[in-house]
């Protein structure tokens, strides 16, 4: 087809300009190369325009990804002439009107609705617009560098709408030979990649584009019993794989393990998660990525473990790693905190770190008294997640400095005593987490979590400590131990929020009283779990008569306290007692 646009022919000195309605105009100005789009340029509207090459009456071809071609025998080869342009035209005034209309980026597909809206072959393109005479021309007059610039904006907008996922460059390659040639000549600039998943066969696509990087992706479902053929075909080409994203069961890991033991020089990201409800992690005794992956930016292994010396060799081969995620690490592949710090020492661009062990037996041996080791600094790390033993965490934070850190998530195995002097010294050294303003206490049937948050822009900074324990008295023991060790930080906390799925008992009321006594500067307490309200009100009344808990409290929000007359009466008595001492408290429900 021929897509026609309007050109102004008033002046001899003319140049091209891509406007917001995707036409090509000639204006009176000195010639200048098109290095960047004008201010009116809209990539969101452009990618709708790029889809407007199908005329309702002309041949319609499937323009999805290469794995979804209507006829798999016709692959998108850069030198192929199987696809051509049929005749069509676009009403430029219709384009103008359409460009001024508001449409959300995700409103329907690009091709069908748009071309039916703006294609009006019965209207003349030769009518005057704004007093000027216009003539008809074809989009083939756009030079290749201009098309390349347009395709680049199409790619950027597509990736933005899909949160960085692959963009469908195949749609443009189907338009005509010229567009296909422009795309094939700029594979790096346009970031051309081939998706290998569980859909239509891709063998012919791989042969047609023998150098493009491969993205291997598969997410297991209940119906999946074996690895898809497309994924198997791609894994046999480790030199072309740039990204691996697999969510599989343990029975599917055989070919995966074989593939990731080979060198993958083009690999940028590897994510493998073994999703078995039961069973140990998959252990791989041999090498990992051949010991070298210079372009690697992300490692994410869940339920599949390699010896840490093999992983450390890969870490030494790359300076670009941004995320390292190792979870469900079995005891057989335990590595010490010293080994972990040594492996991280060269990763100056690392932003996210996760280390999670499978069982509580993964503890470091008792260390002899020795001088404090030198600390390693990771200047870019902003997220740190840890799941393991208290002793491991203590030794790790004593060896490391994280000046940019603003989010920490710690999950500790159950224990009787949680002595964390190194961690309590580590938190004040952080610029972002030294003065929390909010504290959240979450009580669940299987765990308890304490979160400390500092409200900031553009994102709240937080660190949380969680313990895997069931009995309520064990949970409250963990909370009181943590708050007592972090008491210097609690002076800046002004709000305390409590929720969960447990009830207070007579045996743990003293622990609740000890918890409240640690928050001397809190002005607002919110209890969202109705089952906790009776016990907490009793603690407040008892503590106020004994030593005066929460001396600066001005707002008390109790969910459902009015539903029980005795609880409502006790809460009002607490407020009245504070009023007599000159301290006003506003009692209300949170909802």
- 130-179: pLDDT as tens digits: 555 556 656 677 888 888 988 888 888 888 887 767 888 878 888 888 88
| Tokens found for residue 151 | 């395709």
Domain, as residue range, for 521: 494-591
Number of structural domains, the chain? 2
Q: Is-contact 424 485, C-beta < 8 A?
A: yes
What is the token pair recorded at 506?
A: 């007579």
Using CA atoms of 513, 515, 520, 523 in order, give the dihedral in degrees to the nearest 10. Answer: -90
Binning pLDDT at 50, 70 and 90, where does residue 368 land? low
Among 133, 166, 184, residue at a domain's last position: 184
Q: Quick check: is 256 in a domain?
A: no
Token pair 């069982």 is at which residue?
359
- Tens of pLDDT, residue by residue over 317-365, are 998 999 999 998 888 888 999 999 999 999 999 999 999 998 877 677 7
User: Would you say residue 126 lies in a domain?
Assistant: yes
Place of tokens 């209309």: 101
In three-state secondary structure terms, 70 is coil
Predicted confidence (pLDDT) at residue 57 exceeds the cutoff of 70: no
- Partners of 355 in the β-ladder: 326, 386
Q: Residue 100, Cβ neighbours under 10 Å: how many?
A: 10
φ/ψ of 342, rounded to 5, equals: -65, -40
For residue 352 the two structure tokens come to 């996210």
Length of the chain: 591
Residue 531 within any structural domain of the chain: yes
Token duo for residue 218: 């598969």
**Which residue among 169, 184, 199 closes a domain?**
184
Query: Where is pLDDT greater, at 67 or 362?
Result: 362
**465 lies in a domain?**
no
pLDDT for 494 beyond 70: yes
Residue 591 forms part of a structural domain: yes
Q: Is residue 168 part of a domain?
A: yes
| pLDDT score at 387 | 95
User: In 3D, which of 237, 241, 217 has the Cα closest to residue 227?
Assistant: 217
Give the model's confidence band at 286: pLDDT under 50 very low, under 70 low, under 90 confident, else very high.
confident
Q: What whole-number distance in Å separates Cα of residue 590 and Cα of residue 527?
A: 8
Among residues 160, 184, 208, which one ends one of the domains? 184
Question: In whole angstroms, how far apart are CA 395 and each of 19, 325, 332, 337, 444?
Answer: 60, 19, 20, 6, 28
Cα–Cα nearest to 343, from 399, 265, 303? 399
In a domain, 441, yes or no: no
**Three-class DSSP labels, 441-488:** EEECCCCEEEEEEECCCCCCEEEEEEECCCCHHHHHHHHHHHHHHCHH
Decide if 235 contacts 259 (C-beta within 8 A).
yes
pLDDT digits (tens, 9 = 90+) for 405-432: 999 999 999 888 899 999 999 998 887 7
What are 318's two structure tokens?
């790359």
Residue 135 lies in a domain: yes
> 228-264 burial by CB neighbour count: b if 16+ within 10 A, else e?
bebbebbbeebebbbbbbbbbbbebbeebbebbbeeb
d(CA 162, CA 328): 30
Q: Residue 72, SS3?
A: coil
CB 72 within 8 A of CB 201: yes
**What would the pLDDT profile of 499-548 be if each residue is shown by its tens digit?**
987 765 555 788 899 999 999 999 999 999 998 999 899 999 887 665 57
Residue 294: CB atoms within 10 A of its CB come to 12
Range of lowest pLDDT (11-15, 239-243, 405-409, 521-525):
11-15
Tell me how far apart the alpha carbons of residues 153 and 138 are, in angstroms, rounded to a whole number.
Answer: 21
* Other beta carbons less than 10 A from residue 369's beta carbon: 4
332 vs 396: which has the higher pLDDT? 396
């Amino acid at each position: 087809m021929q897509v026609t646009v309007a050109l102004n022919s008033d002046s001899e000195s003319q140049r091209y300009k891509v406007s917001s309605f995707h036409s090509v105009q000639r204006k009176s100005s000195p010639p200048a190369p098109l290095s960047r789009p004008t201010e009116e340029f809209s990539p969101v509207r452009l990618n709708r325009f790029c889809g407007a090459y199908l005329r309702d009456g002309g041949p319609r071809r499937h323009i999805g990804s290469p794995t979804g071609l209507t006829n798999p025998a016709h692959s998108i080869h850069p030198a192929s002439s199987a696809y051509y342009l049929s005749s069509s035209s676009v009403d430029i005034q219709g384009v103008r009107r359409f460009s001024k209309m508001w449409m959300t980026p995700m409103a329907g597909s690009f091709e069908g609705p748009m071309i039916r809206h703006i294609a009006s072959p019965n209207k003349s393109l030769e009518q005057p617009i704004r007093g000027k005479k216009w003539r008809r021309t074809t989009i083939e007059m756009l030079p290749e560098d201009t098309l390349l610039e347009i395709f680049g904006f199409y790619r950027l907008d597509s990736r933005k709408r899909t949160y960085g996922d692959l963009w469908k460059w195949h749609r443009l390659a189907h338009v005509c030979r010229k567009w296909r040639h422009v795309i094939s000549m700029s594979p790096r600039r346009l970031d051309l990649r081939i998706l290998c998943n569980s859909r239509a066969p891709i063998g012919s696509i791989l042969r047609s584009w023998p150098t493009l990087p491969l993205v291997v992706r598969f997410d297991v479902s209940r119906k999946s019993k074996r690895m898809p053929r497309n994924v198997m075909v791609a894994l046999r080409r480790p030199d072309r794989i740039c990204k691996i994203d697999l969510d599989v069961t343990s029975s599917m890991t055989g070919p995966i393990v074989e593939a990731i033991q080979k060198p993958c020089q083009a690999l940028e990201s590897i994510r493998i998660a073994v999703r078995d409800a039961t069973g140990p992690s998959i252990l791989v005794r041999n090498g990992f990525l051949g010991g070298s992956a210079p372009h690697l930016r992300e490692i994410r292994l869940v339920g599949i473990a390699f010896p840490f010396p093999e992983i450390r060799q890969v870490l030494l081969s790359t300076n670009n790693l941004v995320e390292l995620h190792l979870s469900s690490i079995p005891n057989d592949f335990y590595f010490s905190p010293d080994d972990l710090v040594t492996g991280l020492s060269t990763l100056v661009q690392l932003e996210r770190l996760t280390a999670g062990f499978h069982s509580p037996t993964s503890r470091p041996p008792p260390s002899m008294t020795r001088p404090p080791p030198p600390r390693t600094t990771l200047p870019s790390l902003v997220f740190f997640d840890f799941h393991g033993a208290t002793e491991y965490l203590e030794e790790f934070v004593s060896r490391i400095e994280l000046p940019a850190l603003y989010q920490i998530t710690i999950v500790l195995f159950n224990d009787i005593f949680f002595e964390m002097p190194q961690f309590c010294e580590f938190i004040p050294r952080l610029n972002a987490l030294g003065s929390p303003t909010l504290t959240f206490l979450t009580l669940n049937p299987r765990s308890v979590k304490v979160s400390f948050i500092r409200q900031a822009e553009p994102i709240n900074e937080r660190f949380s400590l969680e313990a895997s324990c069931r009995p309520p008295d064990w949970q409250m023991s963990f909370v009181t131990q943590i708050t007592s060790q972090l008491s210097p930080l609690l002076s800046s906390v002004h709000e305390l929020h409590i929720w969960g799925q447990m009830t207070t008992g007579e045996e743990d009321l003293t622990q609740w009283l000890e918890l409240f006594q640690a928050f001397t500067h809190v002005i607002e307490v919110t209890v969202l779990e109705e089952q906790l309200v009776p016990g907490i009100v009793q603690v407040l009344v008892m503590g106020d008569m004994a030593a005066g808990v929460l001396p600066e409290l001005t707002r008390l929000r109790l969910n459902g306290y009015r539903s029980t007359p005795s609880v409502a009466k006790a809460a009002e008595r607490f407020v009245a007692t504070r009023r007599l001492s000159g301290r006003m408290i506003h009692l209300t429900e949170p909802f």
